[in-house]
Amino acid sequence: MYDISELKRCISDLYEKHRGNNQGDVASYIPELGKADPDLFGISLVTVDGQEFSVGDYQHEFTIQSIIKPIAFLLALEMHGRDKTLAHVGVEPSGDAFNSVELNPRTRLPYNPMVNAGDISVASLIKGASPEAGVSALLDRLGIAAGRDLRIDEHVRDSEATTGSRNRAIAYLLHNFGVIDDGIDHTLHQYFSQCSVLVNCRDLAMIAATIANIGENPATGREAFALTYVRDAMAAMFSCGMYDYSGEWAYRVGVPAKSGVAGGLMAVINRQLGIAVFSPRLDERGNSVRGIAVCTDLAEEFGLHAFEFMNPGSNFLRDAPPTEAAG
């Protein structure tokens, strides 16, 4: 486990280092998101043994947006298993923008669950018997992961629903190829609602730490996600979570992560900690500029990259009893 006081010092330093970075723009294609204060900036971390630390605007609420995608994928896997879920969405990076109106031409499925097409397909799988049931089932599980009750920002949901022609086009494309069923409006309601859950930076770090802790919230001990499928979500985040920056991210930072267009970014250090950054200014791919900068520096300083020789690996391996020397 990392030294928490060192981590706290580093987070505070990174906050000071990057707060003057004003590159990027707030997302405005969803009109409600365009109203965000671009200067907001928060960083949070939660360890799998329940220690936490936050700086800046970590209590400010914003909509989770695409960071819901690995969670929705987890719920689909729990409800339907791998075979059925993977009959509706692939796990291949697309290399294209998150909102591309496209399917993988080889499979005629969405490339992966981390882009809009994939998450709309997943939303269809988890939408439940009624619009209310599907959304409240998702809120229940996300609330267990965050450790508090969460709610939808209806202004953002309505704003996105009334301007979401691109996502509607994706849904009709999916329907045309038999990927989603006839309940297109129900699916889109689920999708727009999922994106509009209000969280703060600390919630995101707790959700990331819950994933790092194989599905169990480290503060409450409650199980949010079935441990069998947590690896599926981490793998999809690792290869596809940062859209068309995913390859660069895997190379430079090397941890499962997911970003959202409201400026949130969560990163999972497997069996160790959850990290979240909130800063609404985005780069041209839709990722938080400061979020990428903070995670890149933090991973470098602490050797967080999954394949870094300094990475101490999981507690499980380090705590294993020593094996008898051979010979």
Binding residues for ligand GLN, rule: CB under 6 A, are 65-66, 98-99, 116, 160, 167, 195, 260-261, 286
Active-site annotation holds for 243: yes
The distance of closest approach from Cβ of residue 64 to ligand GLN in the complex, given in angstroms and rounded to an integer, is: 8
127 is catalytic: no
Least Å distance between CB 66 and ligand GLN? 3
Instruction: Kindly tell me which of 259 and 270 has the beta carbon lying closer to ligand GLN.
Output: 259
- Comparison of 147 and 286: residue with beta carbon closer to ligand GLN: 286
Residue 263: closest CA among 123, 64, 14: 64
| 94 vs 272, beta carbon nearer ligand GLN | 94
CA dist 32 and 159 (Å) reads 6
Catalytic position from the list 15, 46, 55, 69:
69
User: Of 109 and 123, which CB lies nearer to ligand GLN in the complex structure?
Assistant: 123
Say whether 66 is catalytic.
yes
Residue in 44, 54, 66, 124 annotated catalytic: 66
Gap between the Cα atoms of 48 and 209, Å rounded: 6
The whole-angstrom separation of Cα 86 and Cα 28 is 33
Comparing CB distances to ligand GLN, the nearer of 99 and 210 is 99
Q: Is 84 a catalytic residue?
A: no
Cα-Cα end-to-end distance for the chain? 32
38 neighbors 290 (Cβ within 8 angstroms): no
261 catalytic residue (yes or no): yes
Looking up tokens 């290869």 gives 239
CB count in 10 Å sphere of residue 303: 13
User: Which residues share a beta bridge with 56?
Assistant: 42
Residue 150 CB partners (closer than 8 Å, separation 6+) = 139, 142, 143, 197, 198, 199, 203
Which one of 179, 243, 255, 294 is the catalytic residue?
Answer: 243
Q: Residue 99 CB, nearest distance to ligand GLN (Å)? A: 5
| Selected catalytic residue, list 122, 261, 268, 289 | 261
Query: Shortest Cβ distance from residue 65 to ligand GLN (Å)?
Result: 3
- Minimum separation from the CB atom of position 8 to ligand GLN (A): 29
Beta strand ranges found along 97-256 (DSSP E): 198-199
Buried b vs exposed e over 63-86: b needs ≥16 C-beta within 10 Å?
Answer: bbbbbbbbbbbbbbbbebeeeebb
Q: Which residues are catalytic?
A: 66, 69, 191, 243, 261
